[in-house]
Amino acid sequence: MTLDNRPFRTGGCQCGAVRFRIHGALGRASVCHCRMCQKAFGAFYAPLVNLGSAELVWTRREPKRFRSSNQVQRGFCPDCGTPLTYEAPDGTALAIGAFDDPTALAPEIQFGTENKLPYVDGVPGLPVRTTEQDADAAYLSDIVSLQHPDCEMPGDRPGDAHQA
């Protein structure tokens, strides 16, 4: 079977400067609560999916990397700062939110729970509002997203010319 016949997924950073394509089956999805992941993502935890046996192809630039420890480096977009990878001796994981369609990448396990923030489990119980229900944010009525769309665009595949 050729790579063209295998399942694939796409994704990238919010500005579109760094894009990737995944060929084949990904490994297990997880969230990591360790303090390094919290800082790297600027969030309560890092949602990641292991590359597994899939092939990762950078289709528009590669991420810049920061060595966060003696064992791990983390990839991110040098233009917009979007976290993209966790690269360790035992494999590479990708940020779930960086995928164009993250809906099927549900986490199956949590790591680093000794650093889990005490209020994280209470988040699902908080009051909810849709964006349209946020009456305090009138500016949202005419907001225009400048983020790269959640799809492949010309220039996202090797050999394509970048078109803005």
pLDDT at 161 over 70: no
Task: Kindly report the CATH number that applies to the domain delimited by 3-116.
Answer: 3.90.1590.10
pLDDT at 111 over 90: yes
For the segment 142-148, the average pLDDT, to the nearest whole number, is 77
pLDDT at 1 over 50: no
Q: For the chain, which residues make up each domain, given as ranges?
A: 3-116
Residues in the chain, how many?
A: 164
Half-sphere exposure at residue 71, Cβ-oriented, CA atoms within 13 angstroms: 5
Q: What is the pLDDT of residue 12?
A: 97
Token pair for 16: 């579109």
Q: What is the pLDDT of residue 157?
A: 61
